[in-house]
Amino acid sequence: MAANTPIAIIGMSCRFAGDVDNPEKLWDLLAEGRSAWSEIPKDRFNIDGFRHPNFEKLNGTNVVGGHFLKEDIGLFDAHFFNLSAETAAALDPQFRLQLESTYEAFESAGISLQDVAGSNTSVFAGSFFRDYHESLVRDPDSLPRFLLMGTGAAMASNRLSHFFDLRGQSTPVCVAVQLALTQLLRAWGINATAVTSHSSGEIAAAYAAGALDLPSAMAIAFARGGLASESNRQFARKGGMVAVGLGAKDSQKYLPLVTDGKVVLACENSPSSITVSGDVCGIDQLEALLKQDNIFARRLKVDAAWHSHHMEAVADAYYASMDNKVRPAQDHLDIAFASPATGTRLEDVEEIGSPGHWVRSLTGPVRFVEAFRSMCFEAPDSEPAVDMVVEVGPHAALSGPIQDIMGMPEFKDITIPYASCLVRKQNAVDTMHTLVGNLLQSGYPVNLAAVNFPYGKHGLKVLHDLPRYPWNHQTRHWNEPRVNKALRARSERPHDLLGSLVLGTNLKAPSWRHFVRISELPWVRDHVVQNNIIYPAAGHLSMAIEGASQLASKQSTNKKIQGYQLRDVDILNALVVAETSDGIELQLSLRPCGDRALDTKDWSEFQVQLVSSDNKWTDHCKGLIMIEYAPEDKEETSGRGSRGPKRNLGQPVEESAYRIRISPRDIYASLRSGGISHGPIFQNLKGIRARGKQSVTSFTVADSEATMPKNHQHQHVVHPTTLDSVFQAAYTAVPGAGNTVGTPKVPRSIRKLWVAHGISPSAGHPFKAYTALKHIDSQTMTTSITVADASTPSEVEASRSPVITIDDFVYQSIGMAPVQEAPSWEQDKFATAKWVPDISFLKDSYLKKQLGSELSGKEAELLMDLRRACLFYTYHALDELTAADVQGLEWHHRKFYIWMRLQVELARTNELAPGSSEWIKTT
């Protein structure tokens, strides 16, 4: 097209945000100056699960709105476009809107589908994102069958060209190679058309296929027309034909029974219908035999025995009448031609155009069943080569046989519509219009202008103000994997310390994925062990606590969280963080322990693992965790303080009792000399005082938020930098701390840890850690630590409730070095005052809790075994006691007897222990 070639927009339609679904509404939107911007609809995706002020964060966005179509994009009039529900659900909503809006554009231009069908109209289409495609491929196991046909980039234009039958270029902007493929297929002349016939109809079929020109077809028909009388004149016996309701195979039982004259199988019409031809006397005898067995038989109103030995008498004359008058119309066939004379497809036009073929068609049997199958299928087990069968003739004579043939195994699960041009005793105009309607319904491009206006459209006026087509948007077509739906509906943003829930995870045993990148968590860079950036062990515990907290928020409970208990924590491997853009992937899993073991009821097992790029999983931390809820009994709460248990420190609270001052700078220098380096964000110890193997350490909350991108940090229970400061306090109780800590040691295990809910995260908030060293040697050390909020006045220090408690915190050596003994001057020389609770002032509930003890796993198993053994002996003792024995018991023995029976009843109702009713069965 030349640059100055004028063009005209003759029709248009549109879909825009702001409830704009036609050009008139677009004009109103622009004229009124309205904005179409809106917040992101919840049905698209939940922005709360992705929103983050740092626009550079890989799995977040700071966008809160945009321009969205108002109508549900899943609604689509699939029936109008002849699409099944399955196909429609796989079709990209962008392509659905294009189909509907393109039809509306043709409506706007006053152009019918018949006018554009087959026209040299090009389609140029572009698409931005492929959101629907990407949502479907998120779950490869649930991909729809028609994914590529529904969401492929090429379909942006090809869907329009296919439905509207547009023959020009159909070019998606992203695919240029289709230009060459389209031209190649067109040059090959690929067409999906085939023909066949029955008996003399083969002449018209050969003409329709292009195998004969019109003069040749007329010559063959003329020559054949005079053969009936000629055969009767030359053949001694009269001929006739009879239609029989049997298949070709079953008919062989009757044909040999004919003794009066000769009859042959002339036509195989269908699997249950044949035509027999031959001498009239034989035809009469066969008809009588068949009717005697109640088999359908009807004489045909013909005077000649076509397709039998009667035709041999006129074969030479027939051949001579066609000689030099029949010739092929072209040198090759563009349309498949299935001959009833052979039952196969014929491709040699010379053979079809030879008189010999037509003599064989006259004298030989009609193999219509085989010919029809050959027309429909190029080869056995292949897909159908035709979409619809149209009978061209004076009546729908072959409708019955065709329906029978389509019931054969080859046509199983295949539906090919049938229509006839004419039907006896019906108006020909009506039958032809019915045929046109059937073809249109099957998607064939019929020129309706020629059908409806055979004399032209002169004087007709196009109506431009008709309402647009009423799309049927009652049915929603949508295909979405469960994991993609979970992603859209995600309510929590990826947390700095936890990450985000694994898509589709089971909330009864959830998992989280957390990508640790130095660029997103700069404070990690300040934690170095032996020249490697190590993700702190405190980070694993913070991750487990955040996971439990997030899971509790998803549960519909009005209980108030008081704290988090962790026990049997193992820190298995150091986690090295590489300074790469990919970072590392951590996964946290929580699994309920169940109620089988007495000591793990209401507990969950947590596990932190590293997942490598090649899918190797490495355990780094594991343990048990339980959320502690505030009791509903206010009286019990009053004896425990505002939150968490009161704890006997076992050491003085007043700093004056600790006469040795240690500089935090010396502690960090000593650790650094052993290969443990803390950067500024981890250096939060402010003051240290010690006495023997006890110490009190003052520290503050680090300003980790200031190091984060955009100074944004998610809310958390306890930050790793804060928890790591608590862990650092363990070093201050080592004799000689500040001079040397002996062999450098790192956290290895924790028997019990309690963290209060609601610890202040404010930068600079003060805390005090009270540390007691229980054991130390060259390889390990064990401490217990209690942390109190130091923001209250010092005079109430003794009444503070702890915010963090750690029992039996084990550190393990990362190198070999002797442990220095404490100098003699560090030993206590003076008596000190100790503050302990007065038992007479304690509440019963508090005393009961303090005297309670949690069993280890092995202890709990042993207790369960002992309880079961006790039940075993009790049960058998009761079984051996007779009524006389019971009557003779002393009064105190009788009480034991009653107690034993009670234990058995408790076991039957599972009140003695979980599953104790099964013990009775095995006892």
Query: Any idea which residues carry the catalytic annotation?
Result: 527, 724
**CB-based contacts of 715: which residues, under 8 Å, 6+ apart?**
761
And the tokens for 372? 């029809």
> What is the secondary structure of 373-398 as a DSSP string?
HHHHBSSTTPPBS-S-EEE-SSS-TT
Per-residue CA distances from 434 to 390, 420, 438, 701 (Å): 12, 9, 6, 85
- Got the DSSP string for 532-558? EEEE-HHHHHHHHHHHHHHHHHHS---
Q: Are 266 and 306 in contact (CB under 8 A)?
A: yes
Distances in Å between the Cα of 322 and the Cα atoms of 166, 231, 354, 355 are 44, 17, 9, 6
Coil, strand or helix at 789: strand
**Cα separation values, 240 from 248, 255, 278, 605, Å:** 19, 15, 6, 92
- Residue 806 β-bridge partners: 753, 785
Query: For residues 107 and 174, what is the distance between their CA atoms, to the nearest angstrom?
Result: 28
Distance, C-alpha 504 to centroid of its chain = 9
Continuous H helices in 380-478: 399-405, 428-441, 448-452
Q: How many CB atoms lie within 10 A of CB 425?
A: 5
Q: What percent of the chain is helix, strand and coil (3-state, nearest 5)? A: 35, 20, 45
- Residues pairing with 766 in the sheet: 700
Which residues, 6+ apart, have CB-to-CB distance to 305 below 8 Å? 231, 239, 240, 241, 266, 277, 278, 279, 311
Check: CB of residue 554 under 8 Å from CB of residue 622: no
Rounded Cα distance, 398 and 422, in Å: 12
Q: How far apart are CA 740 and CA 772, in angstroms?
A: 18
Q: Which residues contact 762 (CB under 8 A, 6 or more apart)?
A: 701
Which two structure tokens, joined as six digits, stand for 480? Answer: 């979405």
Residue 767 CB partners (closer than 8 Å, separation 6+): 698, 699, 700, 701, 722, 725, 787, 788, 789, 790, 803
Classify residue 585 as left (phi > 0), alpha (psi -120 to 50) or beta: beta
List the structure tokens of 531.
């020249």
Count of helix runs (H) and strand runs (E) in the chain: 30, 29
Nearest-CA neighbor of 167 among 102, 119, 233, 106? 119
Return the structure tokens found at 264.
């042959």
**Torsion 880-883-885-887 (CA) sign:** positive
